Amino acid sequence: MTTGEQQASLLSVRGVTKRFGSFTALDDVSLDLSPGTTTSLVGESGSGKSTLARVIVGLESVDSGLVHYRGAPVRGRAARREFRRGVGMVFQDPYGSIDPRFTLSEVVAEPLRAHGMYGKDGRQRVRDLLESVGMGSVDPDSYPHRLSGGQRQRVCIARALATGPDLLVCDEPTSALDVSVQAQILNLLLRLQQEHGLAYLFITHDLDVVRRISDQVHVLYRGSVVEHGPAQSVIDDARHPYTRKLLSAVLSDSPRTRRIGREMSGGQAAAAEKSG
């Protein structure tokens, strides 16, 4: 890659290798994320998707390789801090991701406080964030125990957006939710992407969802990227045998994927997003 290409990408992963003991979870992985676009990461269970997501957001160290953010290596204290402010993460399990001892406003305010951004208008900022994820009618001083999975995931998304990131890493953000709620959360993420110009790195097992939301797809197999490219061409014209196998195994036209597809399409999207 040239320096010019590296500057054009919002986030660039270069030659990342990650081992757990003698097991190589990621083997020389590279990928680039462009501003405002969605890149999906697909692969069977254990292929290294979550490990790559964790490496990208700095939750996991690497054995070799480097992550560049906005054209500069994420190295040193100042760069890591800027990176943490610019990159949010949404996890799979909205129950495990929120500490039940804190109120909703405390949960959402946490990254603002960590980055010294709470300030005089912090409370209003938290309200605006909750409003932007469809939680404006919920008391911000209440505790999360009564919230549904979808509502919790909305709070997690508000928290991930608190510092004004330009990239969200979403590790199967809907797979722990009921099918109808999955579509609502996906529609919410799509709306937020449009409103804020967000880039997404989206990990999912659901290739129907990949088809609907992705600009680019990377296919991981045993810790290596075996195929990548525009979503449509990877899905419709997969070159690697593993991708073809994965597609035929997962892209079955199941009732579940058909239903998400219906709920995400057309005019139902806005209505579907409202409750969740």
Residues engaged in binding ligand ATP (CB under 6 A):
20, 25, 43, 45-51
In the bound state with ligand ATP, the residue whose beta carbon lies nearer, of 43 and 111, is 43
Query: The sheet that has 64-69: what strands, in order across it?
Result: 23-33, 11-20, 64-69, 72-73
Helix axes 104-114 and 149-161, enclosed angle (nearest 10): 20
In the bound state with ligand ATP, the residue whose beta carbon lies nearer, of 38 and 50, is 50
Q: Report, in Å, the least distance between residue 58 CB and ligand ATP.
A: 15
Q: Report, in Å, the least distance between residue 25 CB and ligand ATP.
A: 4
Beta partners for residue 199, in sequence order: 167
Q: How is 70-102 classified by DSSP, letter by letter?
A: TTEE--SHHHHHHHHHHEEEE-S-TTTTS-TTS
Q: Report, in Å, the least distance between residue 268 CB and ligand ATP.
A: 29
Q: Report, in Å, the least distance between residue 51 CB and ligand ATP.
A: 3
| Helical segments of 139-225, H only | 149-161, 179-196, 207-213
In the bound state with ligand ATP, the residue whose beta carbon lies nearer, of 93 and 215, is 93
In the bound state with ligand ATP, the residue whose beta carbon lies nearer, of 47 and 243, is 47
8 Å CB contact between 250 and 205: yes
In the bound state with ligand ATP, the residue whose beta carbon lies nearer, of 196 and 240, is 240
A 10 A CB-CB count for 30 gives 14
Q: What is the largest CA-CA distance in the chain?
A: 56
CA 202 to chain centroid: 4
In the bound state with ligand ATP, the residue whose beta carbon lies nearer, of 89 and 272, is 89
Q: Report, in Å, the least distance between residue 44 CB and ligand ATP.
A: 7
Q: Report, in Å, the least distance between residue 164 CB and ligand ATP.
A: 28
